[in-house]
A and B are shown apart, each in its own frame.
Chain A
């Protein structure tokens, strides 16, 4: 058995990279495990390759993407054990981390673990959302970043949130004009969000950027539909149209590609599997792990940083990563509290600045009730097992007490995605049906392995 690492970081997005760089500076023996083949996370995905092979695309993707280069370069230059292509599928107590890399399973030991697994897009269960040709906006953005692929034909965006606007703008830079943006944000949200504007204006650059994207999209003449009662996607083998109904009138928008987005939620399965305490955050409309300002979880050797600890955005994530690394060094007795606090001053100040945008964004783009808990019975909720909203409501009426029992009642959440695509929807539907808070309903119990694993791989486990 080799000596355990001081710190194991899961994820090489902004939080993981910044944490690794700081941990290395403080002399911690650090390992970084990341699913992708190159650092950057989803936000800065493929940044090195784009900068090297397609520098003209940096302008197309925007300054916020290009900002990731500095982080990636610092990460590449620091002395950590970086293991790309590594999918963590279980963490044991005391800390043993089991992961798959290129068809083999490995186990390594660490004194502390930092979970920096980022965000995923909030599921958006609409009628027809399982049809081929329907993807998330983030998925199409990944195609643009990784291979310079853009959607063809009639492209319709449905949803709301900063990423949707940014991506519509990026597509315009790539000479792709979407045919419509179907805005699902709640009527009255602008009025409710207005009181957060003074604070938001003190966050560096965000409001100006958002307004610029909206202006550019309007000037391009992109149709924006809002204030409707119902939206659904129709097609047989592929999506063919987006149907929007408002005040008795029905609009049919022909579509070859439909991209959905209604904000981000923590990519949370590892924290759930570790039994970290989570609580429902009403403003973000999702569960977030219970952490202190250093990212410490309910178990003292586990920390969270970045979007997986509650959505904060990429710039905040990097500072949260630095703070988490400082706290790790303090807990491992490499620096004392005075040194930790002195080094933490700058990241804390930066975090405070960047966080000022959050109340505005959370009020403006809060997903509407009907998009997180579909009213129509036939809308599929669990894409793997094809359980629909009606199945879930009937199970509740029959006395199903919680999401975990829902698995036994209707197999919902039992598919290969392990509840990632339906978990929050099931919680929301059950909370609405029983008229209690999502906290009272809770979430699926997530069990290892948190990613499917071939038995052969398990049998060939390499111990370090």
Chain B
């Protein structure tokens, strides 16, 4: 879905996305790490469980919410990826019964 430019040599950090280590350029947001790792969909809409992924990358849409270091519903695009950070994408399941 996204890949680093060939000129992207530089310091990297490694984050753990759903148990798998992902190396990203230092300064990347967690949402950028998700996209570079292809961890998409990264979330299910809470109402219909439809698949979702980062959309705006600037903190306005709240589509990139994931669990970071045990805290749920964090805005992945507003948080810098840090060495050893554990990111968990929401598991998909069937949509809830609509009453």
Q: From B53, which residue of chain A is reached at the shortest CB distance?
A: A132
Tell me if B62 and A139 are in contact (CB < 8 A). no
List the interface of chain A (C-beta within 8 A of B). 35, 37, 42, 46, 49, 53-54, 56-57, 87, 120-121, 130-136, 138-140, 142-143, 146-153, 174, 237-238, 256-257, 267, 383-386, 415-417, 420-421, 451-452
Give the size category of B's interface with A. 35 or more
Tell me if B2 and A151 are in contact (CB < 8 A). yes
Inter-chain contacts of B56 with A (CB < 8 A): 120-121, 135-136, 138-139
Residues of chain B in range 41-97 having any CB-CB distance to chain A below 8 Å: 41-42, 45, 47-48, 50-63, 65, 73, 78, 80
Main SS of chain B's interface residues? Answer: loop
User: Contact partner of B32 among A42, A149, A238, CB < 8 A?
Assistant: A149
Give the most central of B4, B5, B36, B42: most A CB within 10 Å.
B5
Tell me if A152 and B62 are in contact (CB < 8 A). no
User: Contact partner of A386 among B24, B47, B57, CB < 8 A?
Assistant: B47
Tell me if B48 and A386 are in contact (CB < 8 A). yes
Task: Report B67 CB to chain A, min CB distance, Å.
Answer: 14
Task: Jot down 22 A-B pairs with beta carbons below 8 A, ordered by A.
Answer: A35-B59, A35-B78, A120-B56, A130-B52, A130-B63, A135-B57, A136-B55, A136-B56, A139-B56, A143-B35, A146-B29, A147-B4, A147-B25, A149-B2, A149-B4, A149-B5, A238-B51, A257-B2, A383-B52, A421-B60, A451-B59, A452-B73
Tell me if B58 and A54 are in contact (CB < 8 A). no
Tell me if A148 and B57 are in contact (CB < 8 A). no
Task: Report A93 CB to chain B, min CB distance, Å.
Answer: 25
Task: Report A201 CB to chain B, min CB distance, Å.
Answer: 32
With A130-B45, A238-B41 in contact, do A383 and B1 touch (Cβ < 8 Å)? no
Beyond known contacts A148-B4, A416-B73: 6 more, CB 8 A cutoff: A132-B41, A139-B56, A139-B57, A257-B2, A383-B45, A386-B47
Inter-chain contacts of B10 with A (CB < 8 A): 53-54
Closest 7 CB pairs of A and B: A132-B53, A139-B57, A416-B62, A417-B62, A142-B57, A148-B5, A132-B41
With A147-B4, A149-B4, A256-B1 in contact, do A267 and B60 touch (Cβ < 8 Å)? yes
Tell me if A120 and B4 are in contact (CB < 8 A). no
Task: Report A60 CB to chain B, min CB distance, Å.
Answer: 8
Q: Tell me, in angstroms, the Cα distance from A143 to B55 when the chains sit together.
A: 11
Tell me if B51 and A146 are in contact (CB < 8 A). no
With A56-B7, A139-B54, A256-B1 in contact, do A146 and B28 touch (Cβ < 8 Å)? yes
Q: Tell me, in angstroms, the Cα distance from A451 to B61 when the chains sit together.
A: 11
Task: Report B92 CB to chain A, min CB distance, Å.
Answer: 8
Task: Report A256 CB to chain B, min CB distance, Å.
Answer: 7
Tell me if A49 and B27 are in contact (CB < 8 A). yes
With A142-B57, A150-B3, A421-B60 in contact, do A132 and B27 touch (Cβ < 8 Å)? no
Inter-chain contacts of A46 with B (CB < 8 A): 27
Tell me if B5 and A138 are in contact (CB < 8 A). no
Inter-chain contacts of A421 with B (CB < 8 A): 60-61
Tell me if B53 and A143 are in contact (CB < 8 A). no
Residues of chain B in range 10-38 having any CB-CB distance to chain A below 8 Å: 10, 24-25, 27-29, 32, 35-36
Tell me if A386 and B53 are in contact (CB < 8 A). no
With A49-B27, A147-B36 in contact, do A417 and B4 touch (Cβ < 8 Å)? no
Inter-chain contacts of A142 with B (CB < 8 A): 57-58
Inter-chain contacts of B32 with A (CB < 8 A): 143, 146-147, 149
